[in-house]
Structure 1
């Protein structure tokens, strides 16, 4: 069984692989990133959201020579974003941000040739889901979530698909050691209280089992990583070779074994 140190080292290698294969150029006003098969669909969706008056998603400028350009949204994100979500204010602002985006996107009609970054998920109340709504993909200002970026895993799914993913990382539904060492909480958080606060701030969700949904969502993440790795896509190919699938399953099992933390 890998130790916490082993897992932290694996995550550091995963982050390095991600950085190597997702080259990002940040200028004073724009961000340039490698485009992919889903980029045209993502840009169409972002334009729809912005046409609804939302400024909490990037404004797409265009694609040229395999590079997409988006308007920069000022604030902390990536590794700089973790600390902002430690507070109740940061946590609940992220939930409200996700709800705002889901509501605005609910009426969108995708183009006939839409290419999704992740497989569609069947269920009720299907909306365009971000697919990766962790603290690192939020833009933060003073412990407030102001934007959601990096839409590479856009796909149709029930709202709970995004909510369950977010709960894993915001509660977080991870070991005490990971909460302290990777998420940098000053003390082990009350996952049950934070889960309830996130769900209440999002609002009007059907009754659901947090543990079951989070564990199932982790396994869907693993399935996607496996599929992308089998197609030779990086950084997933590197992640899988380094033991990511086994790590995902350990995390799902840990969630299932710690249902008592909801109390």
Structure 2
């Protein structure tokens, strides 16, 4: 009997594990993502699934990575050891794609086919704790590459910080994100930024950690991701169209307002 597990069962996104493989629907930008994953395999980057091809049902076939992921990831980054490990993995990934220049014409979910990484690199685009596979407090793989796109490295850093600082109110932290008490958001942002080595790449001002500028970066990426989701929803893409209909994008706009109103939790005013 074939070992089969449903990983995600949605009308627009049916993802299954069959043995040691994952089968996922192809997207308009899949060729670009596959080029990225093949690059990571070629250079020996160990923290990404491998592309095995397309099956008889027209689904992409990737290697399955054993471990904890999805909702289990939130508790991993509550501990500062997991938080720092996540940041180090992001830096390792950015270093791995520093010289990668895609040629696929399929484009990206986050931008048009004409986009290039000439002013940055190909970011993961959805680098949250749920999209990592964990062994204890160590992330061993990055998964779900659908939102990869060429951007400044800071986009991935700011995106991750939104969720792991986190840029959420105390009630959300306690009820949904596994925190036993309200987090010290400023401290957590500093831990992540320092573990990533922010001052050595493209931190605000190019040197040192400017907390206020970092908050601006996070709010800027929140707005960029929100605008991208609205654009994809208007094109009928899923799950963004569902997000629009359900009011999720309106709630996202409220979160952006919360970030602006509570920036003093993250950096000196």
Same topology, TM > 0.5 = yes
Aligned partners of 2:15 and 2:25 also within 8 Å: yes
TM-score by length of 2: 0.86
Match 2:18 to one of 2, 24, 27:
27
Unmatched runs of 5 consecutive residues or more in structure 1: 1-16
Q: Describe the superposition over 1:110-163 as per-residue Cα deviations: whole angstroms up to 9, x where unpaired.
A: 115142121278999601011111111011111111111100011000000111
Shift of 1:243: 1.4
Shift of 1:18: 8.1
Which protein has greater RCO, CA pairs closer than 8 Å, 6+ apart? 1
Q: Describe the superposition over 1:186-211 as per-residue Cα deviations: whole angstroms up to 9, x where unpaired.
A: 11111111111111111123342122
Matched with 2:98 is 106
Aligned partners of 2:12 and 2:238 also within 8 Å: yes
Match 1:201 to one of 195, 199, 202:
195
Shift of 1:215: 1.0
Question: Would you say how many aligned residue pairs link Structure 1 and Structure 2?
Answer: 247
TM-score by length of 1: 0.88
Aligned partners of 2:30 and 2:146 also within 8 Å: yes
Q: Secondary structure at the match of 2:194?
A: helix
Q: Describe the superposition over 1:72-92 as per-residue Cα deviations: whole angstroms up to 9, x where unpaired.
A: 111111112221111111001
Shift of 1:241: 1.2
Aligned partners of 2:110 and 2:149 also within 8 Å: yes
1:60 equivalent in alignment to 2:51: yes
Matched with 1:48 is 39
Structure 1 segments of 4+ aligned residues over 6 angstroms from their partners: 120-124
Q: Describe the superposition over 1:213-252 as per-residue Cα deviations: whole angstroms up to 9, x where unpaired.
A: 1111111111111111111112211111111222122111
1:95 equivalent in alignment to 2:87: yes
User: Matches of 2:10 and 2:98 in 1, distance apart?
Assistant: 32
User: Matches of 1:129 and 1:63 in 2, distance apart?
Assistant: 24
Aligned partners of 1:131 and 1:154 also within 8 Å: yes
Aligned partners of 1:35 and 1:67 also within 8 Å: yes
Aligned partners of 1:216 and 1:252 also within 8 Å: no
- Of 35-44 and 113-122, the range deviating more from structure 2: 113-122
